Amino acid sequence: MWTIRLAWRNLWRNKRRTLITISSICFGLVLALVFIGLGDGTYGTMIDSAARLGSGHITLENRDYRMSLSTRLTLHSIDDVVKRFKGLREVEEWAPRILGQAMLSTSYGSVGAAFIGVDPEREKGTTLFIEKIIEGTYLEESEGRGALIGSKMAERLKVSIGGKMVITANNLQGEIAGELLKVVGIFKTGSEMIDGYVFQIPLNRARKLLGMNQGEVTQLAIFLDNQRDTDHVIEKLKKNLSNFKEVAVLSWREVMPELASYVELDGSSNYIFQIIIFIIIAAGILNTILMSVLERQFEFGVLLCLGMNPLNLLFLVLTEALLLGLLGVTTGSVLGLACNHYFTVKGFNLTLLTSEDVDISGVALDPILYAHLYPEHLIITVVLVFLMTILVGIYPAVKAARSVPIEVLKKGK
């Protein structure tokens, strides 16, 4: 016990140095926490956005579909499949989808495009497209002829709300089929690819066009409350669906590998950056503690002469380092959490730096970054910094314990 009290008093013998050291630790920790928080928040948001614009966090599709993306490779009897995961608490929503390629024509021209047949009722809760609508409304009924097209496509086809379009596609038998559509809504995501080449139509209209049966779809998109549950929900699903041989269970990482790459890479570079910061700060802390030991070598020498156990001296210095660590980490955590809170609520506005819309591999990125520090990242970071402080204290502590009395006394003037 006395070690702690002594260590504490020793620290405050040199207020300036102690404060400087504590603020170094604090600075490093705050920086780390803010970057990790922004990273976590951004990746989470990006993944959710990509999932909601695409095929969900988890996608169920025909086993062979991903290889050739052929319309003919479908899922059948989806009602049975849905029963196997409907009850899972992590699942927020699910939606059936029919995907294909088609030609859209108006009296002014035609474009080749990709369509997504959706069930408007199910999509209302999850799809990102609704938020991106700039004109008109979302699709209404599942039986209707409405179409939701992108702003660039509307330009190319010279069509507006209420306008007619004819969709022509090759159905499952390979024959050419056509249907009439009316534009009910126009969206703008900011991504040229999506705004110019992707459109949504009601599920049953797609079904009719392609000649699919009831209960037959291309994909089932599953949306989770928390994207971090993805992997273990996939485990559960694979078990539940083991009887359905034709069904493949894919995570967003497999469906959007480039997004996965981005998250990995950015995450890694974030870590590298933090490691560098830590090293720099560790060097500084080492400096301080070492200096404090060296200037007290005379003292220590005297103590050792008087019979103090060298090990005690070692622990004393270590305790000083520990206390420094604690103080630094505490102030750093509080400040770091405060900053994170600010960014969670207000966000970090990228548009201060750029005016263009941003996209990664075709997925449009929200220009305001929100932080969202995951608890385990907070704990790991804090613990790491704390440990680092203690580790750094080892060398000086050993040095202190080894202060050979006579030589030190000699040196100490």
Partner 1 sequence: MRVSLAITLPLVTLSLLLLFVLHSESLSEELSSQAILDKIDKMWRGESSRGTFSMKIKTAHWERNLRIKSWTKGLDYTLIRIEYPKKEKDVSTLKVKNNLWNYLPKIKRVIKVPSSLMMGSWMGSHFTNDDLVKESTLVNDYYHHITFEGEREGQGVYELTLFPKEEAAVVWGKIIILMRKRDLIPLYEVFFDEKEKPVRKMIFNDVKMMGGRLLPTKMTVVPYDKPGEFTEVIYIEIAFDMEILDTFFSLRNLTR
Partner 2 sequence: MLLYPKLAWRNIWRNNRRTLITQFALVVALSLMIAFSGLTWGLIKQMERNATLLGPGEIQIHSPGYLDDRSIYRVIDHPDIIINKIEKLGVNAAPRLQGFGLVSQGENSSGAQIWGVDLMREKKVTEFHNHLFKGSFLKKERDVLLGKKIAVTLDASIGDELVIVTQAADGSIGNDLYRVAGILSGISEEIDRSTIMMSIGDFKNIFSLGDVATEIAIRRGDETENLNNLRDRIKNITPDEEVKTWREIFPAVSDMLELTDVSIYILLIIIYLAGSLIMLNTMLMSVFERIKELGIMMAIGLRPLQVLILIFLETFFLTLCGSLVGLLCGVSLSLYLTHYGLDLSSITEGFSFVGILAEPHWFAVTNVTTVLPPVIFLFVLSLLAVVYPAMKASLLKPVDALVFH
By CB under 8 A, residue 291 contacts partner 2: yes
- Name which of 367, 117, 365 is nearest 220 in CA terms: 117
Complex with partner 1: residue 108 or 273, whichever CB lies closer: 108
Complex with partner 1: residue 113 or 256, whichever CB lies closer: 113
Amino acid at 35: F
Question: With CB under 8 A as the contact rule, which of the stretches 49-57, 152-160, 201-209, 358-366 interacts with partner 2?
Answer: 358-366
By CB under 8 A, residue 361 contacts partner 2: yes
By CB under 8 A, residue 350 contacts partner 2: yes
- Name which of 315, 85, 352, 319 is nearest 222 in CA terms: 85
DSSP element (H, E) containing 156: helix 151-157
Question: With CB under 8 A as the contact rule, which of the stretches 159-167, 202-210, 229-237, 266-274 interacts with partner 2?
Answer: 266-274
CA distance 147 to 163: 10
Complex with partner 2: residue 126 or 151, whichever CB lies closer: 151
- Name which of 122, 349, 129 is nearest 221 in CA terms: 122
Question: With CB under 8 A as the contact rule, which of the stretches 45-53, 252-260, 338-346, 380-388 interacts with partner 2?
Answer: 252-260
Side-chain-facing half-sphere of 384: CA atoms under 13 Å: 17
Question: With CB under 8 A as the contact rule, which of the stretches 142-150, 177-185, 298-306, 352-360 interacts with partner 2?
Answer: 352-360
Calculate helix-pair angle for 15-53, 257-295, nearest 10 degrees.
Answer: 170
Distance of CA 278 to the CA centre of its chain: 23
CA distance 79 to 18: 67
- Contact of 25 with 324, CB cutoff 8 Å: yes
**Please, what is the Cα angle at 30 between 26 and 34, to 5 degrees?**
175
Which residues contribute to the site for partner 1 (CB under 8 A)?
Answer: 101-103, 105-110, 112-113, 145, 162-170, 174-180
Complex with partner 1: residue 43 or 115, whichever CB lies closer: 115
Complex with partner 1: residue 70 or 226, whichever CB lies closer: 70
* Stretch 23-62: interaction string toward partner 2, x if CB under 8 A: xx--xx--x-------------------------------
Query: Which positions lie near partner 2, rule CB under 8 A?
Result: 13-14, 16-17, 20-21, 23-24, 27-28, 31, 68-69, 112, 193, 257-262, 264-265, 268-269, 272-273, 276-277, 279-281, 283-284, 286-288, 290-291, 294-295, 350, 353-362
